[in-house]
Amino acid sequence: MKLSVFSQDMPVVDKINTSSGIVEMRFIGHGSLMFSINNFVIYIDPVRTSGSYENLPKADMILVTHEHGDHLDPDLIKTLRKDATIMFSNENAAASVSWTKVMKAGDINIVNGITIMAVPAYNIKNMRAPGQPFHPKGVGNGYVITIGDKKFYVAGDTENIPEMKNLKNIDVAFLPMNLPYTMTPEMVADAAKSFNPAILYPYHYGNTNTEEIVNLLKNSGIEVRIRNLK
């Protein structure tokens, strides 16, 4: 597949064709995303400081990777919730949102024909020695979301962990890229080459130079798309 790079001033919605219909992906900012398929709306790590939620629809499903304030916003979740909204999260997030359904790595739930699988997300190294890593093993989640014949991987806050390298048949991947919290461009490239998604979106990348990941994956067959996800 030919490498393509999109500038950050492109439209904020991308469309992915699946056997179940067209998935529209909206890039709200940082780690916050919105997917919609046939008017079914999924928010991932919705946080108001990541971008505007004005005029966006309420949620049918909310996925929260972990409890850090740039990924979990209980007040915003209250405004996005409707009677039928279902939320999945890691265990620690349940302390702030009591009605969430807790998922641990390996757990699978199916809602409206969409399969949600929780996968590990953590730091391998101690990133703030001599204390604990920012994201200890066994706490946070990533999610593999299967919609029709396509698999979307939203990694959460993680490094290029061994479990990531065992993923198969990922069509679209969102990988975080900002030290000391997650990965360098070199680590993102290593991860991407290991499970070979068709499309890669770096996200949660702060001030990291996104041209680095573009160059590292040149001629890899992975399509790199840069959106405003600082």
Is the distance from CB of 17 to CB of 147 less than 8 angstroms? no
4-51 pLDDT tens trace: 443 334 346 999 999 999 999 999 999 999 999 999 999 999 999 888
Residue 162 in domain: yes
Instruction: Check whether the bond before 162 is cis (ω within 30° of 0).
Output: no
Residue 92 placed within a domain:
yes
User: Cβ distance 135 to 158 under 8 Å?
Assistant: yes
Q: Closest by alpha carbon to 139, among 66, 71, 69? A: 66
Task: Look at residues 170, 174, 206 and name the one whose alpha carbon lies nearest to residue 188.
Answer: 174
Q: What is the pLDDT of residue 125?
A: 66
Residue 37 covered by a domain: yes
Domain-located, residue 6 = no
5: in domain:
no
226 vs 213: CA distance, rounded Å? 10
**Average predicted confidence (pLDDT) for the chain:** 90
Nearest to 226 by CA among 215, 212, 210: 210
Domain ranges, residue 111: 13-224
* Nearest one of 163, 203, 153 to 183, comparing CA atoms: 203
pLDDT tens digits for range 164-219: 989 999 999 999 998 778 899 999 999 999 999 999 999 999 999 999 999 999 99
Name the pTM for this structure: 0.91
E strand or H helix at 175: strand 172-176
Number of domains within the chain: 1
Asked if residue 229 is part of any domain, the answer here is no
Q: Give the model's pLDDT for residue 130.
A: 55
Q: List the CATH number of the domain containing 107.
A: 3.60.15.10
**8, part of any domain:** no
